[in-house]
Structure formats: structure tokens, C-alpha cells
A and B are shown apart, each in its own frame.
Chain A
Amino acid sequence: MELFPGGHLSRRQFLAGTGAAAAGLSLIPSSTWSYEAAKLNFYNWDTYIGETTLKDFTEVSGINVKMDLFSENDELFAKLKAGNPGYDLIVPSSDYVERMILADMLMPLDNSAIPNRSNIQDSFLDVSFDPGRKFSLPYMWGTMGVGYRKSKMDSIPDSWKWLFDSDRHKGKCALLSEASDVLGAVFKYMGYSVNTKDPKIIKDAEKLLINQKPNIKVFAPDNGQDLLLSGEVDITMEWNGDILQAMEEDPDISYVVPKEGSIVWEDALAIPRGAPHPRNAHRFINFLLEAEAGAKIAEFIQYATPNMAAKQLMPANYINNPAIYPSEQTLSSCESAVYLGADVVRLYEEAWSRVLAA
């Protein structure tokens, strides 16, 4: 097998070693798929499923689900980039769904096997990162915003200013640690779109952050809510679900989406190419989109569900919780993060390296 025919190390060569046959299967309509063992390899985030969901599915279908965990989109991408080690169903976030579609890493979904698709809220059925939802279906969504300790604030900190441009909470604030997340929020604070490509604006954002650095305690990779709980910081930039979990433990903690706007995220279910049990994966997706299963999941993990049928079964305090379902006004100021292309990603990463080195 030539490594560089014509100077290109293409994905096809990578796939050749790992179940290219299975990849070929994905092009055949599901009704003619060959027999699959009653197994499913599910690759998901931690605590991102209902307490009994997997058991319920096994009872209904007889398929044994094995759930493995990953903790970052880019880890998932890097691992699958060189070939699928055997996962049937993955849960990437929206901008990574986009990357995977561009890189031809996902199997198109067979809608005839997913009748519960009709349960999904209309606004989720046609999105920029997956037009017509050919490759993915929404699982959960939410916002990014500010988690804070009520007793230590002068008033509700509903602006990014307190994190990016003020020394009011010097040494007691934390930001996220991914370049795209932090820069996206800074762009919003400066009045631009989350998905800014202009190098000059990126440079200005970099200067703003370097200026603010002496006031920042730490760039927290996913554990801002723990820092808030332990009193290490009083205000942090975090995803709404994380802060919600902290709010359960400590009523003094609260969450708000800044008025300048923020990032709205969505995690989606997708089937990677080379999946050994695609038909089982379709059945599982259909199960997750049922009203009851969806409601149980939403109840346990307390994120916003795009499943209208499930939402109707949820109690009022869930539906009316602004930390889970932001108001229309808030939503209108939020944007989804999209994949901006390799050049812009490189600009973001270099700016971030400079911020960290300053």
C-alpha cells in the first residue's frame, strides 16, 4: 500500500486498514444490511444519558449497549480521524459535526429507520452545519454564560465586562481554556459575531485578554463549576449544564447569559463510517427520540432537549428555568459556533498561544 501516491496521504488509505468493508456497507440501504450482532458501541460524554436509558433500551430491543466515554470534541475527532476503532454512535457538538461531514467521516442517516424524527422541534431540523440533517440528529442543546456566587456580586453580572474588562473580581475569576470558546465570547463583548474571521479584530481581542490576564486566576478546562463551589473563584465563564449541577449543590450559585450575547451549543447523534452495527445504531437513535426516553434523560441530566414530545412531559420548573431554556430575547443574541476553516482556526490558536505566553 503506497504511502503517498501522488503526494497525498488520503483518508481512504487510513480507512483501508480498519473495516473498509464496513464502510462500504454504509452505502447500502438498511433493509439489505447483513446480520448484526445484538450489540451497540456508544461513545458519549460522561453522565450524558439517563439513569436507566441503556437498560430500558436493552429491555425493549434485546441489544446490549456498551457506553464508552470521551471528554473533548477534539479528542473524539483526532481519534476517529485515522479510522474508526469500532464505535457505532457518537455525540459530537455542532461545529465538529460540520468538520466530520466535511471530512466524510459520517454515515448518512436512514430516516425510514427513525420515525421518531417527527418529535424534534422544527427549528432543529435544518441547520447550517448539517443542511437537512442528513448525517446527524440533535440530542441536547444549551448556552454558554457566566456562573457566579450571588453573595459575592454587587448585582447580577449580566455582562461579559466583569470577566474580560474589569478588575472588580481580581484574582477571583476564571475563564474557559479553549481558544474558540473564549475568543468567541470576547468577540461578542466587543460587539462582533462569535464567528469573526477578521485578523484585526482577532488581534484586538488578543490584546484585551492579555490586558485582563493579571485579574484572571485560571483558565479552567471544564471545572469552573468546581472552582465556584470551592470558593476558589467567585465568577466564571462556563457551560450552563455544568453550572446547573453546581447550583444543585449550593443555592448561592447562579447562572446568567450576558446581554451582549453568547454561544449556543448543540450536541448531536451521529454514526461514524465504519460502524460495525449501523442498524442497531439507528434503532437506538429512534429510541432516544421517543417522548418518554427523552423525558427521562432530560430529567436526569437537566439540559435543554430538542425533543418536543419529551419536553411536554417535563415539569414546569424545568421548562421555565432560564438556565436551561433561555428566553427568546436571550436566544436571539446568541449564535452557534461554526467551523471557520483551517486558516481562521490557526489564527485563533496562535492568538491563544500568545495570550497564554504573555
Chain B
Amino acid sequence: MKSARNHKLAFWLTFCPPTLWMLIFLLVPILIIGIFSFSAKQGLVDISASWVLDNYIRAFDPVYLSVFFKSIGIAALTTLICFLIGFPVAIGIASAPKSWKPVLLMIVVLPFWVNLLIRTYALIAVFRTRGFFNFSLEWVANLFGIPFEPLTLLYNDAAVILGLVYIHLPFMILPLYAGFEGFNKSLLEAASDLGAQQFKIITAIVLPIMAPSIISGCILVFIPALGSFLTPELLGGPSSQMIANVIERQFLAANDWPFGSALSMMLIYLTFGALALRYFWLRRRYFSSTENKP
């Protein structure tokens, strides 16, 4: 890794374009949201920057905190399931013959070029009480003469997780595949020659090497899942609201942009907090490992 100071030209060439873009299109809008979060409503459209903490105090109400925690839980579960499914699929694609790889990638990605809303409605058509999944189960049950009660698969938290997994799967499969590609298989052979079992090979060799891809896949699933609102709205039951649904209501039905902004800023603070924790934890590990050196 090089220091910025010693390689000025290269550094600035890579630094300027993305930073400029973000300054203009991200930081200024975020600043606006930040200012809104400290503001108060004035009538129907005006917002006065009165620097009040009211919105944040409201955001700490147990109702909203419980929705926050629930959303984090659902997003975490979605990430886990996506990982458990995506890992073998990514290995499968990476191990395929070279000419098949782009085709397989296409096959995996193609469903996601159908509009999200339509896919969700199609999911509903498959999994509802009188949907194709239940029809197939009923047909199988009739074959065996077992009495059949249709399963209520939709309109509860499990359905929301199913929908979220369905939507975010490529965001896990694609980064994992990018990491697997070019994986040095001789390492695996060497390990099994030395007598290691399958499970040990996976945990001691594959996972550590794949760690950056796994982490990036998890980030790319967890964060959007946390912020999703169409899926819980369409597939969820009466209690399945997630934080983005609450925020959406504040910006639309409640017309309370300052409060919606405060809730959104909470999400940003949370993520920065998590990143800061990770930074300090890594630093401690680094220092403790250097301490152990003779």
C-alpha cells in the first residue's frame, strides 16, 4: 500500500472523480436531509431550520426502536440465508467449464431484469393459499391419499424473508463468484493430501481466502434489505413493517419530512457506528498482535 503523499499524481487522479461526484450528488443531499432532521414543519410545505432535537427525541420512542431492531433482525436472517444458498451456487458457477460460465451467470441474473413489483406479484401467485405451490402439494397429497390443508405461506414475517432472499440473491451470488474465480485449487488438493477433512478444508482454507468477497456480499445484501419497503408492504402480514415502511409513511402520508429525515439519519449513524466499531476492533487486534512479537 502506498502513501498518498508520495504518489501525488496517481493519487489525485483516482481520488478526484468519485469524490467530486459524491460531493455534489451525495453530500449535498445528505446535508439537506441532515438539516431537515433538525428542522420543524411549518405549514404544509415549508420547513424552518430551527435546530431542534424534537425529531430525534421522537425517534427514540419504543415503537420506532422496536421496528429498527426487527428490521435489523430480518435483514440479518436474509443475509444468512442468501449466503447459505449463494455460496454453493457461486462455487458451482466458478467450477463450471469456461464456456458455460457467462451463460450460467446470465441464467442467474436474468430473473432480476424482470421488474421487482411484477416478480413480487408472481411470487404471490405462486405461494398464496390458492397458488401453484399449494396446488402442487395438494396434488402430491391426493396421490398418497393424505388429507391436505393449504399452507398459509404469505402475509407473515417468513414471507417477507422469502421475498427478500428472492430479490437479493444475485447480490450475494455475484460477489462470491467474483471472489471464487481464479481460486487456486491446488491449495485444496494439498490440504486433502495432508489429511484434512472436507469441513476443515472449508473452514481453514476456503473461508479465510474468500473472506473479502463474503464480507462484500453480506454488505451488499444486508444494507439494501434493511432499507427495503415494497417487499414487506406486499408480502407482509399486519405486523411485518420494517423501518423503511415507517420512513416512507413519514415522507408521504404523514407529510412529515423532518421526522422522516431524522429516522433516516439514525440509519446512517447506526452504520457509521458499526464501521467505527470494526475500525477500533481491527486496530486493537493489530496492536495486540504486534505486542506479542518478540
Do any CB atoms of chain A lie under 8 A from CB atoms of chain B in the complex?
A: yes
- Please report the C-alpha to C-alpha distance between residue A19 and residue B229 in the assembled complex, in whole angstroms: 33
Please determine whether B46 and A10 come into contact, CB atoms closer than 8 angstroms.
Answer: yes
Please determine whether B233 and A357 come into contact, CB atoms closer than 8 angstroms.
Answer: no
Please determine whether B256 and A349 come into contact, CB atoms closer than 8 angstroms.
Answer: yes
B88 to chain A, nearest CB (A): 34
B209 to chain A, nearest CB (A): 43
Please determine whether B254 and A349 come into contact, CB atoms closer than 8 angstroms.
Answer: yes
Interface residues of B in 230-263 (CB under 8 A from A): 233-234, 236-239, 241, 245-246, 249-256
Interface residues of A in 316-358 (CB under 8 A from B): 342, 345-346, 349-350, 352-354, 356-358
Interface residues of B in 153-202 (CB under 8 A from A): 154-155
Determine the chain B residues whose CB is within 8 A of the CB of A354 once the complex forms: 63
B219 to chain A, nearest CB (A): 27
A130 to chain B, nearest CB (A): 15
Confirm or deny: B119 has a beta carbon within 8 angstroms of a beta carbon on chain A.
no
The 8 Å CB contact of B254, one of A177, A346, A357, is A346
- Please report the C-alpha to C-alpha distance between residue A4 and residue B47 in the assembled complex, in whole angstroms: 10
- One of A42-50, A152-160, A216-224 contacting the partner: A216-224
Please determine whether A217 and B256 come into contact, CB atoms closer than 8 angstroms.
Answer: no
Interface residues of A in 28-43 (CB under 8 A from B): none
- Please report the C-alpha to C-alpha distance between residue A354 and residue B155 in the assembled complex, in whole angstroms: 19
Determine the chain A residues whose CB is within 8 A of the CB of B233 once the complex forms: 177, 221
A305 to chain B, nearest CB (A): 28
Please determine whether A9 and B47 come into contact, CB atoms closer than 8 angstroms.
Answer: yes
The 8 Å CB contact of B48, one of A7, A213, A345, is A7
User: Which chain B residue lies CB-closest to A358?
Assistant: B239
Evaluate whether A102 and B49 lie within 8 angstroms (CB atoms) in the complex, with A78-B252, A217-B155, A356-B241 already known: no
Confirm or deny: B228 has a beta carbon within 8 angstroms of a beta carbon on chain A.
no
User: Which chain B residue lies CB-closest to A218?
Assistant: B155
The 8 Å CB contact of A346, one of B47, B128, B256, is B256
Determine the chain B residues whose CB is within 8 A of the CB of A99 once the complex forms: 44, 255
Evaluate whether A356 and B238 lie within 8 angstroms (CB atoms) in the complex, with A8-B48, A11-B45, A232-B129 already known: yes
The 8 Å CB contact of B44, one of A8, A103, A218, A352, is A103
The 8 Å CB contact of B255, one of A8, A342, A353, is A342
- One of A69-77, A190-198, A259-267 contacting the partner: A69-77
Interface residues of B in 91-137 (CB under 8 A from A): 128-130
A333 to chain B, nearest CB (A): 26
Please determine whether B47 and A78 come into contact, CB atoms closer than 8 angstroms.
Answer: no
A97 to chain B, nearest CB (A): 12
Interface residues of B in 61-88 (CB under 8 A from A): 63-64, 66-67
Confirm or deny: A230 has a beta carbon within 8 angstroms of a beta carbon on chain B.
yes
Confirm or deny: A178 has a beta carbon within 8 angstroms of a beta carbon on chain B.
yes
Interface residues of A in 1-37 (CB under 8 A from B): 4, 7-11, 14
Majority SS of interface residues in chain A?
Answer: helix
User: Which chain A residue lies CB-closest to B46?
Assistant: A10
Confirm or deny: A81 has a beta carbon within 8 angstroms of a beta carbon on chain B.
yes
Confirm or deny: A63 has a beta carbon within 8 angstroms of a beta carbon on chain B.
no
Confirm or deny: B6 has a beta carbon within 8 angstroms of a beta carbon on chain A.
no
User: Which chain A residue lies CB-closest to B237?
Assistant: A218
Please determine whether B253 and A179 come into contact, CB atoms closer than 8 angstroms.
Answer: yes
Please determine whether A218 and B130 come into contact, CB atoms closer than 8 angstroms.
Answer: no
Please determine whether B252 and A75 come into contact, CB atoms closer than 8 angstroms.
Answer: yes
Evaluate whether A217 and B237 lie within 8 angstroms (CB atoms) in the complex, with A74-B253, A103-B44, A345-B255 already known: yes
User: Which chain A residue lies CB-closest to B250?
Assistant: A349
User: Which chain B residue lies CB-closest to A172?
Assistant: B129
User: Which chain A residue lies CB-closest to B67?
Assistant: A357
User: Which chain B residue lies CB-closest to A221?
Assistant: B233
Please determine whether A356 and B130 come into contact, CB atoms closer than 8 angstroms.
Answer: no
Evaluate whether A219 and B238 lie within 8 angstroms (CB atoms) in the complex, with A230-B128, A232-B129 already known: yes
B58 to chain A, nearest CB (A): 9
Determine the chain A residues whose CB is within 8 A of the CB of B255 once the complex forms: 74, 77-78, 99, 342, 345
What 14 new A-B contacts, CB under 8 Å, besides A8-B42, A9-B46? A4-B49, A8-B46, A8-B48, A11-B46, A75-B252, A77-B252, A77-B255, A102-B44, A217-B155, A221-B233, A231-B129, A353-B67, A353-B246, A357-B66
Q: List 13 A-B contacts (CB under 8 A).
A: A4-B48, A8-B48, A78-B252, A103-B45, A213-B238, A217-B237, A232-B130, A353-B67, A353-B246, A357-B63, A357-B66, A357-B239, A357-B241
The 5 nearest A-B residue pairs measured at CB: A74-B252, A103-B44, A349-B254, A218-B155, A103-B45
List the interface of chain B (C-beta within 8 A of A). Answer: 39, 41-50, 63-64, 66-67, 128-130, 152, 154-155, 233-234, 236-239, 241, 245-246, 249-256
